[in-house]
């Protein structure tokens, strides 16, 4: 009987020891997996470090815009405008220069809040009521200050925006990231058009508009590739 009890005790001790060791190994494996995941997350958040050189936007890539009539339920107009040209220079991890030019003759309306009249709205936006494209065929954004490409890929860029004959400073967020072999730049921000004398339909400058008031804020977004040359 004693021999049996001793044998049983030894088996119990061995089983407990095995479970403790296995649990320790599992914990170590779990810690390793968590560590790898955190490492990958941090590396992913760093974005991309651009090598020195000049980078070019591609002509014809399009920037999206969205405007709305806030007093009409779910009333939004959506469209795009093409990039005419653009480039920036990277030196020692900083963007030291940059300019992007939009071709306002390419302005397009894809969706209207009424569900019709895309061409008519595009013509109106190109008229003197809004952007006076026949006299001012481009919009330009010029980087004013060099900025460091942050390790998380997100930067705040200060520059001058020229719309018609009005030039004002504008700060906008940029995210620089890698997608496959492409270096891409994306952004989304709200732009107050009235600060650049585009006031048509604004409730802050016109009376008796009823529900035809047009929001001062225009949402701008883009996600485009840049090419190093």
Residue 37: per-residue pLDDT = 45
- Answer whether residue 59 shows pLDDT above 70: yes
Partners of residue 68 on adjacent β-strands: 76
d(Cα 4, Cα 72) in Å, to the nearest integer? 87
Same domain, 33 and 109: no
Counting beta carbons within 10 angstroms of the beta carbon of residue 133, is it exposed (0 to 12), middle (13 to 18) or buried (19 or more)?
buried
Q: How many domains does the chain have?
A: 2
Same domain, 68 and 157: yes
Same domain, 30 and 136: no
Averaged pLDDT score across all residues of the chain = 85
CA-based torsion, 191, 194, 196, 199: positive or negative? positive
CATH code, 103: 2.40.128.110
**Residue 119, φ and ψ in degrees, nearest 5:** -65, -40
Same domain, 103 and 9: no
Looking at residues 76-105, what average pLDDT do you find? 95
Which pLDDT band, with edges at 50, 70 and 90, does 176 fall under? confident
Which residue range is the domain that position 3 belongs to? 1-45
- Answer whether residue 194 shows pLDDT above 60: yes
Same domain, 92 and 120: yes
Residue 50: per-residue pLDDT = 79
Same domain, 75 and 118: yes
Same domain, 163 and 80: yes
Residue 179: per-residue pLDDT = 87
Looking at residues 92-104, what average pLDDT do you find? 92
Which pLDDT band, with edges at 50, 70 and 90, does 32 fall under? low
Percent of the residues in the chain that have a pLDDT greater than 90, as a whole number? 64
Looking at residues 9-31, what average pLDDT do you find? 50
Same domain, 65 and 12: no
Same domain, 39 and 145: no
d(Cα 53, Cα 227) in Å, to the nearest integer? 10
Looking at residues 6-13, what average pLDDT do you find? 51
Tokens of 90: 């990277």
Same domain, 123 and 169: yes
Which pLDDT band, with edges at 50, 70 and 90, does 214 fall under? very high
Percent of the residues in the chain that have a pLDDT greater than 70, as a whole number? 77
Residue 97: per-residue pLDDT = 87
- Answer whether residue 229 shows pLDDT above 50: yes
Partners of residue 226 on adjacent β-strands: 57, 183
- Answer whether residue 23 shows pLDDT above 90: no
Same domain, 10 and 61: no
Task: Report the predicted TM-score, pTM, of the whole model to 2 decimal places.
Answer: 0.77
Same domain, 160 and 63: yes
- Answer whether residue 24 shows pLDDT above 70: no
């Amino acid at each position: 009987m004693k021999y049996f009890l001793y044998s049983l005790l030894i088996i119990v001790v061995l089983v407990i020891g095995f479970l403790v060791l296995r649990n320790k190994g599992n914990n170590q494996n779990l810690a390793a997996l968590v560590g790898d995941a955190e490492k990958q997350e941090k590396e992913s958040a760093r974005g991309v470090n651009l090598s020195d050189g000049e980078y070019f936007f591609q002509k014809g890539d399009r920037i999206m815009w969205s405007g709305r009539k806030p007093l009409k339920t779910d009333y939004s107009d959506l469209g795009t405008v093409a990039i005419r040209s653009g480039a920036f220079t990277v030196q020692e991890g900083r963007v030291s220069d940059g300019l992007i030019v939009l071709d306002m003759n390419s302005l397009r309306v894809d969706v209207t809040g009424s569900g019709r009249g895309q061409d008519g709205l595009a013509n109106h936006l190109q008229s003197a009521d809004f952007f006076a494209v026949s006299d001012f065929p481009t919009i330009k954004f010029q980087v004013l200050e060099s900025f460091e490409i942050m390790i998380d890929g997100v930067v705040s860029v200060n520059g001058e925006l020229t719309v018609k004959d009005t030039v004002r400073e504008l700060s906008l967020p940029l995210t620089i990231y890698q997608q496959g072999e492409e270096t891409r730049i994306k952004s989304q921000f709200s732009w107050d058009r009235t600060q650049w004398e585009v006031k048509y339909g604004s409730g802050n400058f016109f009376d008796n508009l009823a529900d035809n008031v047009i929001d001062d804020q225009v949402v701008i977004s883009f996600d485009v590739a840049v090419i190093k040359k």
